[in-house]
Structure 1
Amino acid sequence: MSQSKDTLRHLLAGGCAGTVGAIVTCPLEVIKTRLQSSGLALQPVYYSQVQLGTLSGGVVRPASSVSPSALQVLKSILEKEGPKSLFRGLGPNLVGVAPSRAIYFAAYSKAKEKFNAVFVPNSNLVHMCSAGCAAFVTNTMMNPIWMVKTRMQLERRVRGSKQKNALQCARYVYQTEGMRGFYRGLTASYAGISETIICFVIYEGLKKNLEEMQLSRTSGGEKSTASFLGLMLAAAFSKGCASCIAYPHEVIRTRLREEGSKYQTFCQTARLVAREEGYAAFYRGLLAQLFRQIPNTAIVLSTYELIIYLLRDKA
């Protein structure tokens, strides 16, 4: 197969896989984004107020120990905004996820091919460099779409009221912040490349072991249902580990994308969150993230592997 057909195969597989994952896990992403935002601290339904330093001026701030759960956020969205709000941002997500995954997997495949010629083939170093390059390219190209998606997910509404659609939201961002507004949070996305690297290094290692086990069991080397289930479990485990390690960048990225916020740069946001809310705030929404990302990554990677296998078999 020619290189152009091989790249198209990875583009198609990545795009289909990303679309399936985005639709299934959209409600969890909305909950996670709400949990990450600073606006959550302004919701009295979630936080009790603790008066601190009354002798020196009565400073009042939210109690960090009463952080809301994902179920509380879900209940609030359903009661105040309706079920449709659980799918806020799905439009730009669907517009962006197919090209995003397509770009990512195509870039990963091409980078892996190049790095295999430089380093020890299929080594951890190759996987790390390939994943890092693919994430850098994807984040740079897709940040405007993810910016609009985050703004839409953070927009609260009264049940029955009309919210901005994706085009209206994009137009508003451009009018109020210019082109720079579409790249808010990009530095945090670059910091999040570490999560992608960790995920793919673990996944590729587990995938290699699974393939060796499969070859030892079947002489023909054919894919079985058990092997795809194994790939799903490997993807879930690798993403779970990576998310727990690198999660704080997600909270910082959401804060940077908030409208009219006091958060300006990556380091300034990190310091501000730590000082005002404590280090626990960097892990707000982690549970919702794991519930969303683990099945999403399992679906995406296993669907990708399945489509690649089917297309390769027909080629």
Structure 2
Amino acid sequence: MEEEVDYEVLPTTSVATNMLAGALAGITEHTVMYPLDSVKTRMQVLSPSPQAIYTGVANALSRISTAEGASTLWRGVTSVIVGAGPAHALYFATYEKCKEVFSSKDNIHNHLAHAGAGACATIVSDGLMNPFDVIKQRMQVHGSTYRGVVECGLDIMRKEGLAAFYISYPTTLMMTVPFQAVHFSTYEYFRKILNPKGGYDPKTHIASGAIAGAAAAAITNPLDVAKTLLQTRGAASDTKVRQASGMIDAFKLIYTRNGLAGFTMGAKARMLSHMPATAICWTTYEFLKMVLSKQPGFANEPIVTPVNPSS
């Protein structure tokens, strides 16, 4: 009988392990669920053209595929692949290091430690990922004529300057810091509840990841609507949208046009995207971290006291 892997007492994983596992997990997460992300972006645009008004996720997927071709759902995915690798490498390396620093040495689940580590991780990774996210959303909107990531990026730089890539960064942080705080603390909590023995268990990572992704996506959707408005404003025909200068302007416009319901735009697509995406990301990350920790050069020397079992 194959010996069960005691996942929680593996030697401390190195920064290289966390970065490589995180990069591969991030690319996998974003590419697999990319069509739903495209639908979410389309549904969050404040003043869409008549051809881009959808009644639901299934309707959007069907109409986009039929009218524009199935490949349209993947427009801009290269930007995610290029940006997600290094961004997620920094993301997970920062998370693991901060979790180690913030956590206590006992077995008690520390919500604040995991939430704080998640917040630190997202500040670092979003600084790198934000320009790629702007390019991605410009290519996702209805009527986009960009043929590639480089063409889109250069056009934005020429017409709107460097600031266009970071105008949404404060809003992104306002969204992703609570998103990741909820995400990480929820994931770690359910991972501990569903698998108290701490053995490597893919089913636990899938379930915990899906629950964490859904909860974080639902709570932060209003900020995501504002972020989409700011990142796609350069492609809008609406003068007021084009003149939005930050999160407050975005909130005012969304509320003026659609009331409180405006902040729920794309929520279902976002949750449907994040549930499997987060489950895939965590399952890939935990698996690769386990495998790589056993490879020469990827694991630190074994230590007498194992990593905090609650982490």
TM > 0.5: yes
Indicate the residue corresponding to 1:43 in structure 2: 50
Ranges in structure 2 where 5+ consecutive residues have no aligned partner = 1-9, 235-241, 300-311
Q: 2:278 aligns with which of 297, 306, 309?
A: 297
The answer to whether the Cα contact below 8 Å between 2:52 and 2:142 also exists between their aligned partners in 1 is no
Q: What CA distance in whole angstroms lies between the structure 1 residues aligned with 2:106 and 2:263? A: 36
Q: 1:45 to 1:154 in 2, by over 3 A?
A: closer
Equivalent residues in 2 for 1:103-122, closer than 5 Å: 103-116=90-103
Change (3 A) 1:45 1:83: closer
Q: What is the CA RMSD across the aligned residues, in angstroms?
A: 2.3
Residue of 157, 163, 173 corresponding to 1:190 = 173
Map of 2:116 onto structure 1: 129
Deviations 1:86-128 (A, max 9, x none): 1011010110111121110001011112223799975111111
Which residue of structure 1 aligns with residue 263 of structure 2? 282
Q: Deviations over 1:3-26 (max 9, x none)?
A: 8x7000001111111122222111
Matched residue, 2:204: 230
- Superposed CA deviations along residues 163-207 of structure 1, whole A, max 9, x for unmatched, are 331001100111111111111211211111101101111111111
The residue aligned with 2:36 is: 28
Deviation at 1:45, TM superposition (A): 6.9
Matches within 5 A, 1:79-118: 79-116=66-103
Whichever residue aligns with residue 166 of structure 2, its letter is: Y
Q: 1:265: which partner in 2?
A: 246
Q: Is the 8 A contact 1:202 1:238 kept in 2?
A: yes
The 8 Å contact of residues 88 and 153 in structure 1, kept in 2 or not, is answered as: yes
TM-superposed deviation, 1:79: 2.6
Instruction: Measure how far apart 1:313 and its partner are.
Output: 3.5
Q: Give the share of equivalent positions with the same residue, in percent.
A: 28
> How much does 1:263 deviate?
2.2
Q: 2:158 aligns with which of 175, 181, 184?
A: 175
Contact 1:81 1:156 in 2 (8 A): no
Conserved 8 A contact 2:38-2:140: yes
Residue 187 of structure 1 aligns with an amino acid whose one-letter code is P
The alpha-carbon deviation at position 248 of structure 1 amounts to 0.7
Query: 1:182-233 CA deviation, whole Å, 9 max, x = no partner?
Result: 1121121111110110111111111122342x35xxxxx5x3xxx2112110
Is the Cα–Cα contact under 8 Å of residues 119 and 125 in structure 1 kept in the other structure?
no
Equivalent-residue separation in structure 1 for 2:270 and 2:104 (angstroms):
36
Structure 1 residues 168 and 313: CA distance shift in structure 2, 3 A:
same
Structure 2 counterpart of 1:172, which letter? D
Contact 1:120/1:126 (CA < 8 Å) preserved in 2? no
Number of the residue aligned with 1:153: 140
Displacement of 1:39 in angstroms is 3.4
Distance 1:16 1:177 in 2: 32
CA distance in 2, matches of 1:243, 1:163: 29
The count of aligned residue pairs is 279
**What is the distance in 2 between the residues matched to 1:87 and 1:135?**
25
The 4+ residue runs of structure 1 with deviation greater than 3 A are 117-122
Which amino acid in 1 is paired with 2:162? M
Instruction: Give distance in 2, aligned partners of 1:45 and 1:16.
Output: 33
Alpha-carbon separation, structure 2, partners of 1:293 and 1:258:
21
Alignment pair present for 1:201 and 2:182: no
Task: Report which of the two structures shows the higher radius of gyration computed on alpha carbons.
Answer: 1
Residues 151 and 205 from structure 1, CA distance in 2 versus in 1: closer, same or farther, beyond 3 angstroms?
same
**2:73 alignment partner AA:** L
- SS at 1:68's partner residue? coil
Determine which structure has greater relative contact order: mean sequence separation of CA pairs < 8 Å that are 6+ residues apart, divided by chain length: 2
> TM-score normalized by structure 1?
0.82
With over 3 angstroms needed to count, the CA separation of the structure-2 counterparts of 1:236 and 1:303, relative to structure 1, is same
Q: Distance in 2 between matches of 1:189 and 1:80?
A: 32
Aligned residue number for residue 242 of structure 1: 216
